[in-house]
Amino acid sequence: MVVELANRVLETLEKNGFEAFFVGGCVRDWLLHRPVHDIDICTNAHPGDVMRLFPDHVPTGLKHGTVSVKMEKQLFEVTTYRTEGKYEDYRRPVDVQFVSELRLDLERRDFTINAMAMDRNRLLQDPFDGSADLSSRLIRAVGNASERFQEDALRLLRGVRFAAQLGFSIEAETLLAMKETAPLLSHIAVERVREELNKIISSTGVELGCRLLCDTRLLAFSPRLEGLFSQTGEQAWRLSQLVTAAQKWSLLMYAAEYTHAEAKDVCTYLRMSNRETDMIVCFVRLLGQLSVEWDRPRHVDWGLLLLAEGWEVCQELEVLLQACWSKHGAVHSAQSLAMVYEQMPVKKVKDLAVSGLDLQSALQKKPGEWIMRVLKVLLVKAALHGLPNTPEALIEFAKKEVADNEY
Ligand code: ATP
Ligand code: MG
């Protein structure tokens, strides 16, 4: 269906005298019978022509020759054949030149497997033998690898990422050039580095990805980051049992024995969102608190953890614990988290049959910190130790608690 719509884009361009091809990742993934998530199109039509032929469009990146064309709500990026201008600071160029030949457009692409184009009739344009490299399962730079990495150092990480996603090896010369140009990665914006690392740790070949990161020393520019991948190689396989990026980063940081303060530093350095940072710091702290050891399941007192951290955090923590403990499949504990949660008659301070104000008037005390402290004690007693959740029982217990302790 989506392909049919994309075909119509190609057809329209051709009918108007232009060339148009599917290009890059979609061609690679079609040939590998992998799911295709976005279809990119290249053409010798200039952006002005593309916009004229497709009135329903978004001018996504006119400077780089890209117009997003809408076909029945589906967007396709249509990019004019281009070569890239001067590269500054080992990053992608600021300006590009439009060209009229497909080959020149393919030549600027990073790896041979990403430098193929296909027409509407599935005829392949493959001047750099990408399909041979697909068959040999190789990541090979287009042209001189060292020069290509010097033009744009992000390609270094992309290479490792494609190897990890596809389970491919990196061709010898390309690998050598990677090792030599590795320090250039320090010029790349940390957000882009983070996004590629996220893709590496989320790929099916994550172990291979981690090994390549170590072998190439791509992360040597940041010892804190490199430490995550060098000391944790052994645990890399566990990452595929985790769901979110936050869980994966947490496991890496715990495996590298980072404190939660060090974990926070890494998150800040990678400019993660506050939400993601908080989650990671929390998971690293909890794994440490529970003294989690690899493949040695232990009893977890979910009741207290649920009251202190909440249901959502505990649910994710359970997934993390499974990954830390399970050499072979899931670890089943008799008292599962869900069971403990369901059996708790109250789950939050708000669920208690008394409020802070009730306590204040029943105990005839001035408002202060003591209220929240007493409410928390009541919560633990009512949730886990059978204290009835009635105003009478709670107030009676609160009176005793305050009388027996310094409040
Ligand atoms: P995926 O979308 O699955 O991550 P992709 O190959 O489509 O993989 P994109 O980042 O979407 O990757 O880029 C589309 C195409 O643009 C690539 O296939 C490649 O041909 C080219 N490309 C992208 N980034 C670079 C780069 N830094 N240097 C050279 N070519 C690049
Ligand atoms: Mg893509």
H or E segment and range at residue 80? strand 74-80
Name the E strands within 152-238: 169-170
Position in ligand 1 atom list of the atom nearest CA 158: 27
Q: Count Cβ atoms within 10 A of the Cβ of residue 21 and give its class: 0-12 exposed, 13-18 middle, 19 or more buried.
A: buried
| Residue 353 within any structural domain of the chain | yes
Asked if residue 229 belongs to a domain, the reply is no
Nearest ligand, CA 25: 1
Nearest CA to ligand 1 atom 5: 25
Same domain as 166, residue 77: no
- Ligand 1 pocket, Cβ-based, cut-off 6 angstroms: 24-25, 40, 92, 109-110, 114-115, 152, 154-155
Residue 244 resides in a domain:
yes
CA dist 60 and 58 (Å) reads: 6
| pLDDT value for 235 | 87
The token duo for 326 is 């399970």
Query: Does 166 reside within a domain?
Result: yes
Q: Are residues 314 and 355 in the same domain?
A: no
My answer on whether 8 and 125 are in the same domain is yes
Between CA 323 and CA 320 the distance in angstroms is 5
Task: Give the per-residue pLDDT at 377.
Answer: 96
Smallest CA-to-CA distance from 337 within 347, 328, 329 is with 347
pTM of the model: 0.91
Q: From first to last of its 407 residues, what are the pLDDT tens digits of the chain? A: 899 999 999 999 999 999 999 999 999 999 999 999 899 999 999 999 999 999 999 999 998 999 999 999 999 999 999 998 777 778 877 778 999 999 999 999 999 999 999 999 999 999 999 999 999 999 999 999 999 999 999 999 999 999 999 999 999 999 999 999 999 999 999 999 999 999 999 999 999 999 999 999 999 999 999 999 986 677 888 999 999 999 999 999 999 999 989 999 999 999 999 999 999 999 999 999 999 999 999 889 999 999 999 999 999 999 999 999 987 556 665 568 999 999 999 999 999 999 999 999 999 999 999 999 999 999 999 999 999 999 999 999 999 999 998 77
Q: Which ligand is nearest to the CA of 199?
A: 1
Do 27 and 112 lie in a common domain?
yes
Report yes or no: 66 and 89 within 8 Å, Cβ to Cβ. Answer: no
4 & 101 share domain: yes
Q: Is residue 40 part of a domain?
A: yes
**What pLDDT is recorded for position 86?**
75
Q: How far is the CA of 155 from the centre of ligand 2 (A)?
A: 14
CATH code of the domain containing 197: 1.10.110.30
Please identify, by atom number, the ligand 1 atom nearest to the C-alpha of residue 152. Answer: 27
**Residue 226 maps to a domain:** no
- Residue of the CA atom closest to atom 11 of ligand 1: 25
Q: Which atom of ligand 1 approaches the CA of 40 most closely? A: 14
The last residue of one of the domains, among 319, 344, 369, is 344
Residue 231's pLDDT is 62
Of 300, 323, 344, the residue at which a domain comes to its end is 344
Question: Do the beta carbons of residue 245 and residue 276 sit within 8 Å?
Answer: yes
Claim to verify: residue 257 and residue 288 sit in the same structural domain: yes
Please state the domain count of the chain: 4
Do both 98 and 215 map to the same domain?
A: no
Q: How many contiguous H segments (helices) and E segments (strands) does the chain have?
A: 20, 11
Q: Could you give the CA distance from residue 11 to residue 380 in angstroms, rounded to a whole number?
A: 68
CATH code for the domain in which residue 3 is found? 3.30.460.10
Assess whether 77 and 12 both reside in one domain: yes
CATH number, residue 374: 1.10.246
Q: What is the pLDDT of residue 88?
A: 79
**CB neighbour burial string for 191-216, b if at least 16 within 10 angstroms, e if fewer:** ebbbbbbbbbbbbebbbbbbbbbbeb
The answer on 249 and 154 residing in a single domain is no
Q: Closest ligand 1 atom, CA of 165?
A: 3
Other residues' Cβ atoms within 10 Å of the Cβ of residue 31: 18
Q: How close is the Cα of 36 to the center of ligand 2, in Å?
A: 9
Q: Assess if residue 172 is contained within a domain.
A: yes
Residue 32 covered by a domain: yes
Q: Which domain holds residue 327?
A: 238-344
Q: Beta strand pairing status for 40-43 and 74-80?
A: parallel
Same domain? For 39 and 154 the reply is no
Whether 370 and 249 share a structural domain: no
The residue whose C-alpha atom lies closest to atom 8 belonging to ligand 1 is 25
Please check whether residues 2 and 34 belong to one and the same domain.
yes
Report helix, strand or coil for 20.
Answer: strand
Q: Which ligand is nearest to the CA of 162?
A: 1
What local confidence, expressed as pLDDT, does residue 54 receive?
Answer: 97
What's the gap in Å between 114 CA and the centre of ligand 1? 7
**What CATH code is carried by the domain that includes residue 278?**
1.20.58
End residue of a domain, out of 344, 359, 376:
344
